[in-house]
Structures are given as structure tokens and as C-alpha cells.
A and B are shown apart, each in its own frame.
Chain A
Amino acid sequence: MKLKHIVGLLSAAAMSVVLAGAASAQDKTVKIGMILPLSGNAASAGVHGKAAIETAVEIINTGNPGLGNLPVTKNAGLKGLGGAKVEVVFADNQGSPAVGQNQALRLITEEKVVALAGAYQSGITLTTSAIAEKYGIPFVNGESVAANLTERGFKWFFRVTPVASDFARIYLDFLKELKASGIKTDNVAIVHENTEYGTSVASVITSVFKENGLSIALDIPYAANTTDVQSQVLQLKDKKPDVLIMVSYTSDAILYAKTMQALDYKPPMMIADNSGFSDPSFIKTAGKLTQGIFNRSSFAIGAAGTPTYLINEIYKKKSGGDDLDDTAARQMQGFFVLVDAIDRAGSTEPAKIQAALKATDLKPDQLMMGYKGVKFDDKGQNILAAGLVIQLQDGENYVPVWPKQLAKTAPALPYKGW
């Protein structure tokens, strides 16, 4: 290395030290670490998640009295900490569990965050929360649904989202009702990506269905970063399931939609498990190829003037015009739950935040999501999380179709495709 390179590197290092010093000199901020896939295959979801958290931070720090009973939004900053502002340090997990783990370590030991949130992919939430547990830092997750995340006996991990088993039951009840009305639902196939998320969701759906006398006839795991899905689609075409359940991230979801059209395959009914199929960039690129696909959701933007509508208006400015989707909304809700706990704790001490999280008891009108509330059990799972079935009827917007009392319109069958 030449001398000028060394000098360059040294001065860059010196500058970053100065900058870091300047940041820590600011008092009265609560630093929270947010781990998201900001690059890699899931970057699209990560960027939307980042916009959602930035929206929440803006609402919390400037105050927005128009948002009903949503906690920590009434006045600027956190009342419980003398009006302290919230600062979020974003870290990129690059779609890798190992990178996520290093980022968690960096956020805790170098950035000195008081709590962590994230990390989108269940497989990365798994590794990052293990670091938080080791260091005794609260970790609040709003979006990862793999069952085992709350089965590890962790004391510092809290999950706000409904989990795979909740959704498996929703799908089951939904299918039962359709069956009662004469629609064939006996032969179910699951196609799922093979990391923590897809594998665990598929196995939970399989076991819940089995307990209720419904067997999964075909189970096709695949790698999410695959270049081609023709063979899987042909397998489905050969076996002709009545119901196809897809558990995918965005890139693979787009490939499936395009390949199904190319090979002219339409199942009579297709259910997508959120994630890829809820990503706004999926709906934009492949929504018109998957008209009539069912999905799960806990979020609806609502009528003009409602808190969720107002939140979406702020979000759109940060997301470049995209509407708030279910995944980003669940991340935002998780973040609000965390900040509310810090506010009630009146302290940034991890143990006090942990105690406040344990005491969380939010009612439906204090939430932006359609949950029945937020209350954690001993394992850190929100026992009041809930969801509904939505359908992409026109290829552009998901509408609630089940259960009846929440439905805007009736489910449309058979699956239309393109």
C-alpha cells in the first residue's frame, strides 16, 4: 500500500471517530437498533421496513395528536423520559444470519443501543436475538413468524406478530367454511422456500391440518434464490392439487407467478403466506398474473381520516409512494410496542424496559394493527395477535374477504390468475 493510501485511510478513520464522538455527545436520545435486509435478495422488503420505522420515529419525535389512542404519539418525544427523542440505528443483515449476528453485536457493544428490533427473515431473527439474549438487551420482533423463535426459553425476546400456528388455523377455518359451501379442498399442496421461515411455516400448517383430519398431499421445498422454478410448477401441474399454499419471499414469488403463466398452470385455489406476495413490488410486477390469490393480513389502511390512513399518508412520503403493506405495518407496530414500553419504563435500563414489556397490556384501540391487543405470555409471544384472509381480486389491491364480520366482499373462486 502506498503512503497516500495509508494517510487516506487514517484520516477517514480519524473522521469517523470524531463523528461518533459528536453523536454520543447528544444527550436525551433513546438509541434503538433496527436490523433489516437492506441489501441482498430481500432488500425490497427491508427498504419498506426502514421507511415504516422512519415513519414511526417521525410520529414519535414530533408528536401527532390525530392518531387516536396510539401510545407515544400524543406529544413530541417520550413523556416518561422528559421528552427524550428516539434515534434508530439501522443495520443491514444482507440476508445472511451470520451478518445479522455481527450487526447485532456491533449495535449492542459499539452503538450502545438500549433495545433491538428486526430482523425480517425468521432465520436471521433467530441468530440476532440470541446475541441480544446473551447481552441482556430487549429484542422486540414485529414480523417474523417461525414458531420456534419463542420456544427457546429466552427472557429478552418479545414477539408482537401472530405466528405460523395462528395463520395455519385461519387457513384451516377458512378452507373448512369453503368446503361446507361445496368447494373442493381435500387435496392440499404446500410449496415453500427452505430457510427457517418457509420450513417452519410449512411444518406448522402440515401439523395443524393433520390434527384436523386434512392431509397435505404434496410438499415441495425449494431454495429461495433459485434461478428457475419450472420443474416445481410442472410437478404441481402433474399432481393437480385443489388448494395450493405458497410460502415464498419476493424474488421467488415473482418467478412462480411468471412461470405459472408461461406453463399455463392455474390451481383452483391459491393461498399465499404473506411475505413475498405482500411485497408492494410483487403486486406491481406480478399482481396482474395472480388475480384471486388469497393471503393473510392484520392490516388495513382504512377510511380517510382514520389513524391508519394518516399513518399511511406519512409513510408514503418515505416509501416513494408505496402504500404501507402488512409486513411493514407489523414491523411498525412492533416498534411502537417497544417504544411504549421504554416510555412506561421511564428509563433506558434494559431490565426496566424488559419489565415494562412484560407488563404490556395494549387494547385494540391502542394499535394500528387488527390484533385483539398486545399482551405477552411467559415465552414472549403476543397472545392477542390475530389476522384475517385477504384476496388480490383485481391484481392491484388486497381486500378482506374472511371472516365474514371483517370482510369487505365475498371470496371469489376459482383462482383467476392472469
Chain B
Amino acid sequence: MSSILVQVIVGGLLLGAVYALFSSGLTLIWGMMNIVNFAHGDFVMLGMYVAFVVWTMLGVGPFVGAPVAALVLATLGIIVYFALIRSVMKGPMLAQILGTFGLALLLRYSVFWGFGANFLTLPGDIVGGTYDVFGIKLQASRLLAGVVALLVTLGLHVLLTRTSLGSKMLAVSEDATAAQLMGIRPDSMQAIAWAIAAGATGIAGALIATFFYIAPTVGETLGIVAFVTVSLGGFGSVPGALVAGLLIGVIESLSAYLIGAVYKDIVVYSLFLCFLWFRPQGLMGKT
């Protein structure tokens, strides 16, 4: 195999890890609470801006920016839950869709208003340069995002399957009334779920900002990929989102290189639809 082809696959894996990273928050909300958060891409966007502000004000990179973004977004997640989600959850599906969609626009245009439409970036060497491993280029910033994607996935998985907090959250998602009878407060659990999901998304945004452009509309571009990743991985399955992200990343890279960049979406989405035909619950979703 030529070294360029290896580079294409490695690039695809790193890209896929990033897809997985910014999808994990969505899978938590979507899978557990049955709410489609259309503002998810804009949460990522906010994480990017937090990283940018941290860098401009303190001159430090994502090692500070990511935790700050996690905190800011987690707080926002709780506010969003109590101010919006709690009431729209009682309404029909359409109310949820329009509610989170409206939130997406509100966030997007608030950032437009505050930061302007200009594209921003963090300095290219904020995480370190590019490593050369046997002629294969590994960009430090993407590598970091990939590693964090694995850690976040692992962390969320352990939280959901091995801790009592996770069991309580799952109990609420299965049957809120029954959970309440067992002494679990659905409200607190769901608020915590939103905080965790939004916090993870904030980390994702802060890390993506180290190698991507920052703009108010960037959530639109990233949001769609997140939805595809989550449905391919299986609703609510955090490891599923990781595998799906990696798969989509590699297929995109390979098809863009071998067939052509304009065809990569056709390849990805037709494979995606074929797959859902046979396995509608996704790679690791529950039947």
C-alpha cells in the first residue's frame, strides 16, 4: 500500500475520532431522553468560541480552554433544560423540534451579534506542530482530539453502565414515573444528563477549534455529521457513536481520495441508508 493511501486512512481515522467526539453529547440526549437537539451543532460552535476567548484573554490553549468550555456549556445545558426542554418535553414532538431549532438560531445569531461574521482561528501551533511517523503526518491537534474522543467515550460509557448515577439516569429514560416511585428525581437526572452532554460537547468544540475555522455558522456544517454519526452508531450508544464516527471518517477520506471529493457524501449517505435498511437500530443500538 502506498504511503499516501496510508496517510488517507490515518487522516480518515483522525477525522472520524473528531466526528465521534462531537457526537457523543448528542447521543446522550437523543438516546436517553428521546429529544432531538437541533442546537447541538451550535453547542459545538459555542465551545469553539469559548476556547477562542480563553486564548485571547489568557493566551493559553485547549488544556485550559477545554475545561472552561466544559464548565460554560454544562451550565448552559442546565439552563437550557430548565428554561426550555422541561416544558417542550411535555408537548408534541413538533414542539421539541421547533424549540431546539429556535435555540440553535438564537445561539447562532447571538454569536453573530457579539463576535461578527468574520472567520477566526486559533494559532496553528497552539497544541504543537505535526509529527512525522515513517513519512505519515500526524497533526498534534487532531491527535489530541482523537485521544480525548476515546477518553470521553470511555468516561461516558463507564458513567452510564458502571455507576449508580448512570443507572439512575437510565432508569429515568426507561420509565420516569417508575423511577420517581423508586425515589429518583427525574428532573435532577435529566438536568445532569444535559449538563454532561453539553459539557462533553463544549470539550469537543474547544478541541476542534485548534484545527478548524471558527464562525457563527460552523454548527450548521458540523451538526449534520453528528446526526448521521449518532443514528449509524445507534441511539443512546456512546461506543456506537465512536465506531460510527471512525467508520464515516475513513469512508469519507477513502472515497474522496479514490473517487473524488464531490462524491464522498453520496458514498457515505448511500452506505448509511443501506445499512439502516438492514439494521434500523444502528450499529450498537438496542432493538
**B178 interfacial contact with A, CB 8 Å:** no
> What per-residue 1/0 map shows which CB atoms of A24-55 lie under 8 Å from chain B?
00000000000000111101101100000000
Give the interface SS of chain B, mostly helix, strand, loop or mixed.
helix
Q: Specify which of B109, B119, B253 is in contact with A230 (CB 8 Å cutoff).
A: B253
**B160 interfacial contact with A, CB 8 Å:** no
- B225 in contact with A222 (CB, 8 Å): no
**A263 interfacial contact with B, CB 8 Å:** yes
Contact flag A44-B119 (CB < 8 Å), given A225-B221, A230-B8: yes
Residues on B with C-beta less than 8 A from A250 are 119
**A229 interfacial contact with B, CB 8 Å:** yes
Residues on A with C-beta less than 8 A from B130 are 261-264
B54-62, B73-81, B147-155, B256-264: which lies at the A interface? B256-264
Residues on A with C-beta less than 8 A from B7 are 234, 263
B24-32, B210-218, B273-281: which lies at the A interface? B210-218
**B82 interfacial contact with A, CB 8 Å:** no
Q: Specify which of B8, B117, B260 is in contact with A221 (CB 8 Å cutoff).
A: B260
**A194 interfacial contact with B, CB 8 Å:** yes
Residues on B with C-beta less than 8 A from A226 are 221, 261
- A44 in contact with B215 (CB, 8 Å): yes
- B119 in contact with A39 (CB, 8 Å): no
Residues on B with C-beta less than 8 A from A194 are 262
Inter-chain CA distance A226–B213, complex, in Å, is: 12
**A362 interfacial contact with B, CB 8 Å:** no
- A285 in contact with B15 (CB, 8 Å): no
Inter-chain CA distance A286–B215, complex, in Å, is: 14
Residues on A with C-beta less than 8 A from B11 are 228, 230-231, 234, 263
Contact flag A285-B119 (CB < 8 Å), given A232-B256, A264-B130: yes
Q: B140 → chain A, closest Cβ, in Å?
A: 9
- B261 in contact with A251 (CB, 8 Å): no
Q: Specify which of A43, A228, A281 is in contact with B217 (CB 8 Å cutoff).
A: A43
Residues on B with C-beta less than 8 A from A282 are 119
Q: B205 → chain A, closest Cβ, in Å?
A: 14
**B112 interfacial contact with A, CB 8 Å:** yes
Q: B101 → chain A, closest Cβ, in Å?
A: 15
- B124 in contact with A228 (CB, 8 Å): no
Inter-chain CA distance A230–B138, complex, in Å, is: 12
- A254 in contact with B121 (CB, 8 Å): yes
Q: A95 → chain B, closest Cβ, in Å?
A: 8
- B119 in contact with A47 (CB, 8 Å): no
- A238 in contact with B119 (CB, 8 Å): no
**B222 interfacial contact with A, CB 8 Å:** yes
Residues on B with C-beta less than 8 A from A229 are 261
**A223 interfacial contact with B, CB 8 Å:** yes
Q: B127 → chain A, closest Cβ, in Å?
A: 11
- B261 in contact with A221 (CB, 8 Å): yes
Residues on A with C-beta less than 8 A from B213 are 251, 254-255, 258, 285
Most A CB contacts (10 A, CB to CB) among B112, B119, B225, B256 go to B119
CB neighbors of B among A222-273 (8 A): 222-223, 225-232, 234-235, 237-238, 250-251, 254-255, 258, 261-264
Residues on A with C-beta less than 8 A from B211 are 258, 262
> What per-residue 1/0 map shows which CB atoms of B247-272 lie under 8 Å from chain A?
00000111011001110110000000
CB neighbors of B among A41-98 (8 A): 41, 43-44, 46-47
Contact flag A47-B217 (CB < 8 Å), given A221-B261, A227-B222, A230-B11: no
**B287 interfacial contact with A, CB 8 Å:** no
- A284 in contact with B118 (CB, 8 Å): yes
Most A CB contacts (10 A, CB to CB) among B12, B124, B130, B139 go to B124
**A183 interfacial contact with B, CB 8 Å:** no
Q: A197 → chain B, closest Cβ, in Å?
A: 15
CB neighbors of A among B1-45 (8 A): 4, 7-8, 11-12, 15
Inter-chain CA distance A289–B121, complex, in Å, is: 12
**B102 interfacial contact with A, CB 8 Å:** no
> What per-residue 1/0 map shows which CB atoms of A276-288 lie under 8 Å from chain B?
0001111011100
Inter-chain CA distance A76–B278, complex, in Å, is: 70
- A231 in contact with B253 (CB, 8 Å): yes
- A286 in contact with B121 (CB, 8 Å): yes
When C-beta atoms are compared, the residue in chain B nearest to A50 turns out to be: B117
**A305 interfacial contact with B, CB 8 Å:** no
> What per-residue 1/0 map shows which CB atoms of A185-214 lie under 8 Å from chain B?
000000000100000000000000000000
Q: Specify which of B12, B112, B212, B262 is in contact with A223 (CB 8 Å cutoff).
A: B262
Q: B58 → chain A, closest Cβ, in Å?
A: 20
Q: B126 → chain A, closest Cβ, in Å?
A: 12
- B112 in contact with A43 (CB, 8 Å): yes
Contact flag A289-B262 (CB < 8 Å), given A44-B119, A258-B211, A264-B130: no
The list of the 5 closest CB pairs from A to B, nearest first, reads A231-B256, A222-B261, A43-B117, A231-B257, A281-B118
* Given pairs A234-B7, A264-B137, A279-B119, 14 additional interface contacts (CB within 8 A): A40-B217, A44-B117, A44-B215, A223-B265, A227-B225, A228-B15, A228-B252, A228-B256, A230-B256, A231-B256, A254-B119, A258-B213, A261-B130, A285-B119
Residue pairs across A and B with Cβ atoms less than 8 A apart, 25 shown, are A39-B216, A40-B217, A46-B117, A47-B117, A220-B261, A221-B260, A223-B261, A223-B262, A223-B265, A228-B256, A231-B254, A234-B8, A234-B257, A235-B257, A251-B213, A251-B215, A254-B119, A255-B212, A258-B213, A262-B139, A263-B11, A280-B118, A281-B118, A281-B120, A282-B119
